[in-house]
Amino acid sequence: MQGEQRARTIFLVLWTLITAVKLVVAARLPLFVDEAFYWQEGQHLAAAYSDLPGLTAWLARLGVEMGGQHVLALRLPFLAIGALLPWLVSRTATRWFGAVAGWQAGSLTLLMPLSATLGMLAVPDVPMALAAVLCLDAGARLLRTVDAAAAVKLALGLMIGALSHYRFIGVIVVGFIVLLLLPQGRRTLRDPRVWVALAVGVMAWLPLLAWNADNQDAGLKFQVVDRHPWAFQWSGLWFLVIQPMLVTPILCIAMWKVALAGTRSGGGARAQWRYFGLVGAVSTLAIFALGFFTDVERISFHWPLPGYLALLVAVPVVLNGWPRWLRRTGWWLAGTGLALAFGYYLMASTPSLREQLAGYKYYPRNFAGWAPLAHAVRDELAAMPPGTRVLAGNFKVGAELGFQLDDPRIDVLRHPLNDKHGRTAQLGLWGLLHEGQRDAPMLLVLSPSDQRYRDLLEQYHDVCAQVGPLPPPRVVSQDHGFQRFLLFRLPAARAEGPCVTPAMAWFDTPQSDAVVGDSVEIRGWAFKDGVGLSRVDVLLDGRPATTAVYGRPYDVTGFWKISNDPQHPNVGFDAKVDTRGLAPGRHWLGLVLHGNDGSVETWQEQPLVVPER
């Protein structure tokens, strides 16, 4: 009893503290771009959408209807589900392995970074995890005896999963395979009540199937075909490397011991032990194998979570058989991993801290700059004729601005990102895909940070083809320009003439994070299609440092073949900046590009390092 009381107290303390921290972080963290689109889908209620079944959008709509237009309100239903999950895992583990192991399984769910942070973002993995745990618990109960309560729970889990994500099909397949592998599972599948539950689960897929039938299978093609290369890629190894870090190493070893133990036969509770182990093993191994063939460009580290939750149910039994020092190390490592995960989200939610990540691989750009952009958009709209509408360059800008401005009907230009993320069909159904024609002024908002630099000029020319030559932009720059937006006041009548684009530039020297001496030599190129540049100013830490000599011969048209800057090939610049007055440490080198059309554009900054003298 004393061990049970201690385990229960630890769980309750952890649950209270971690839930409180999640609420604080969720209230501060700007919307991730996918969350913003789910909000937009929730403002256009439907049974299913191009990228997902309906549940995520419905929950997002429920949140803002209850709490208003605020990020915390949007996330509240997801936070509630995330707070419920440790209790469900704990209850499942208690049923089969005792109260102490049950409370410990709940505590580990609260500490493992992948499950602990669940709910802070309004994403479909939250209800899908709930569905997986419900099905897991129902399956374990059905192995012992088939009854109405377990069948109803299975049906409920299958329904929630079907309404959450296409990926839940994998959870169903894994569960079915495991039941076939177990003698008790094969007996369970002979009961008609189980098949009634399965039939209810199948019915929940009908809205998604109907949407695809009405839209040339656009959603199914995107999820299964378009987004995946389906060719072997060695980069899939990173998936295997990062997973032990995300679940913490010792906990990862314990979960794999559960998986291995699941391959051993036995009677009594051993059937449930094998069930949890096999569900986790088959699920995670399948995802690890698919990682070599599927999409590696977008976030996928959370895919194995349903399998990990199955393994966590039995992990306390493994841990309790280890030496005390190893158990404690495992618990402390899990807590450290959670602290690091929360630290990352806190950094992403704090502008002064987020700025420190600029230039690094893990800079959270999709969280950055939306509130300042909305402020600038409001300013521009106030200075334009009444009734001026916003025109977004891609779905990310349209959704994020839509949430900030409480306008779910912002028009969006055609853009490769809309296709890449499976949102083009949905925008078309809403009538928000804009072809560029207009009979009134519009405020065009582009996000060049969303484009690979080598493709940026081509994208600018594509925008020109849709809306005409671009007027001088207003630049909204965040975090040293690693998140940049360009705002253009488009006149009612389309302008004629050659394509005019925003300026482009590049530093040849110094390299990023170069260590400099008493001065730094700066060389590079810059151009502006359609009109050319008149001047290039150099900034150091955001302050004017010097004016570069601009117009040196530098032919870049070998790469930028479509460029129509009239000053080619004389687009090179060079300058020299004295750094003796700078304190040791990291500093930022920037450019201000002055166009012959009167435009003034700040360019993305580049870090340099002044050493100790």
Q: Which of 519, 526, 533, 512 is nearest to 586 (CA)?
A: 512
User: ω before 472 within 30° of 0 (cis)?
Assistant: no
Q: In the prediction, which pLDDT does 365 show?
A: 86
CB 594, CB 502: distance < 8 Å: no
Q: Which of 282, 289, 90 is nearest to 274 (CA)?
A: 282
The SS3 of residue 166 is coil
Lowest mean pLDDT among 236-240, 249-253, 522-526: 236-240
Question: What are the pLDDT digits (tens) for 156-185?
Answer: 999 999 999 998 988 888 888 988 888 888
Lowest mean pLDDT among 113-127, 237-251, 361-375, 547-561: 237-251
- Percentage of the chain modeled with pLDDT above 70: 95
Higher-confidence residue: 39 or 369? 39
CB 11, CB 107: distance < 8 Å: yes
Residues β-bridged to residue 539: 544, 590
Question: What are the pLDDT digits (tens) for 48-96?
Answer: 999 899 999 999 999 999 999 999 999 999 999 999 999 999 999 999 9
What does each C-alpha distance from 241 to 70, 89, 229, 585 come to in angstroms?
37, 26, 21, 32
Q: In the prediction, which pLDDT does 223 show?
A: 75
Residue 119 clears pLDDT 70, i.e. is over it: yes
Residue 407's contacts (CB-CB under 8 Å, 6 or more residues apart) are 390, 401
Number of other residues whose CB lies within 10 A of the CB of residue 570: 15
- Rama region for 179: left / alpha / beta (φ>0; ψ in -120 to 50; rest): alpha
Question: What ranges make up the beta strands (E) of 345-495?
Answer: 389-392, 411-413, 433-434, 442-446, 474-478, 483-490
Q: In the prediction, which pLDDT does 268 show?
A: 43
- Percentage of the chain modeled with pLDDT above 90: 66
Residue 612 DSSP one-character state: P
Distance CA 331, CA 315 (A): 12
Query: In angstroms, what is the C-alpha Rg of the chain?
Result: 27
Write down the mean pLDDT value for the chain: 90
Residue 344 clears pLDDT 70, i.e. is over it: yes
Distance CA 415, CA 432 (A): 13
Q: Which residue has the tokens 């010792």?
A: 250
CB 454, CB 579: distance < 8 Å: no
Q: Model confidence at 273, in pLDDT bands (50, 70, 90)?
A: confident
Residue 228 clears pLDDT 60, i.e. is over it: yes
Residue 440 clears pLDDT 50, i.e. is over it: yes
Distance CA 480, CA 586 (A): 12
CA quadruple 66, 67, 69, 70: dihedral, nearest 10: -140
Considering the entire predicted model, what is its pTM? 0.92
Q: In the prediction, which pLDDT does 265 show?
A: 62
CB 186, CB 142: distance < 8 Å: no
Q: In the prediction, which pLDDT does 60 show?
A: 97
Question: What are the pLDDT digits (tens) for 381-434?
Answer: 999 999 899 999 999 999 999 999 999 999 999 999 998 888 999 999 999 999
> Within a 13 Å sphere around the CA of 473, how many CA atoms are in the beta-carbon half?
25
Q: In the prediction, which pLDDT does 263 show?
A: 74
Q: In the prediction, which pLDDT does 132 show?
A: 94
Q: Which two tokens stand for residue 342?
A: 């929360």
Q: In the prediction, which pLDDT does 229 show?
A: 67
Question: What are the pLDDT digits (tens) for 480-514?
Answer: 989 999 999 999 988 888 999 999 999 999 998 88
**How many residues belong to the chain?**
613
DSSP readout, 495-556? P-SS-----EEEEEESPTTEE--SEEEEEEEEE-TTT-EEEEEEEETTEEEEEPEEEE----
Number of other residues whose CB lies within 10 A of the CB of residue 176: 14
